[in-house]
Chain A
Amino acid sequence: QVHLQQWGAGSLKTSETLSLTCGVSGGSFSGYAWTWIRQSPGKGLEWIGEINPTGNTKYNPSLRSRLTLSVDTSKKEVSLSLASVTAADTAVYYCARWGFDVVGDFHYYNLDFWGQGTTVTVSS
């Protein structure tokens, strides 16, 4: 069974850099892309970005200028770095696998395994 374990600092001050890491165990690491998602208090899910094992990334345009995703395939880890945080970055952050299934002639992609979530609070 695929298991994602997250860790990183949960309390930050304005303008600091948020750093989170997600370690993957069980299942294939290299065959999938890995995604970060967040949920701000009282709000819905927000897709942050994804990275594949070769390091190719897709970012949410609203975060692109501050966001860096990285991957260490030898450790089976993906990391998120978000610079210059403000209170608006306070959220529960999740990592998840961008899985897929083949249905007929189509590949359907989805977030099939999730980490436990990390609560990040930004204060002044």
Chain B
Amino acid sequence: DIQMSQSPSSLSAVVGDRITISCRASQNIDGNVNWYQLRPGKAPRLLIYGASTLQSGVPSRFSGSGYGSDFTLVISSLKPEDFATYYCQQSFDSPRTFGPGTKVEIK
């Protein structure tokens, strides 16, 4: 199975901050990474697919990059609704594993 790791596991930030979340795959997965946002009591929301393509309706302050085994999610200027947990997922092979998540908390 392909293992996905994320760093940091959590971070504290304030509204307006730029934050970066990293995701690493245990092997080359080309550009096959998705990013999701999970807020308490809500269904997960797809943010980015194919490592860098913004899902329709997702604000442009979200961006993704990377290829191979290292990937990054950036939120350029945090809004209050962005305090949530973020997961990467590889779509390269089955089982389609998720990273352990990065919790973005209010400082």
Residue ranges of A at the interface with B (Cβ–Cβ < 8 Å): 35, 37, 39, 44-47, 49-50, 58-61, 94, 96, 101, 103, 106, 108-112, 114-117
Number of interface residues of B (CB under 8 A): 26
23 contacts between A and B (CB under 8 A): A44-B85, A44-B101, A45-B87, A47-B89, A47-B98, A49-B95, A50-B94, A96-B44, A101-B49, A103-B50, A108-B31, A108-B50, A108-B53, A109-B91, A110-B34, A110-B46, A110-B50, A110-B55, A110-B89, A111-B34, A112-B46, A114-B44, A114-B45
CA distance A104 to B89 in the complex (A): 21
**What's the least CB distance linking B27 to chain A, in Å?**
17
Please name all residues of chain A whose beta carbon is closer than 8 Å to the beta carbon of B53 when the two chains form the complex.
101, 103, 108
CA distance A122 to B48 in the complex (A): 34
Say yes or no: A111-B94 contact (C-beta < 8 A), given A61-B1, A101-B49, A116-B43.
no
Q: Is the CB of B43 within 8 A of A115?
A: yes
Please name all residues of chain B whose beta carbon is closer than 8 Å to the beta carbon of A117 when the two chains form the complex.
43
Residue ranges of B at the interface with A (Cβ–Cβ < 8 Å): 1, 31-32, 34, 36, 38, 43-46, 49-50, 53, 55, 85, 87, 89, 91, 94-101
Q: Is the CB of A101 within 8 A of B95?
A: no
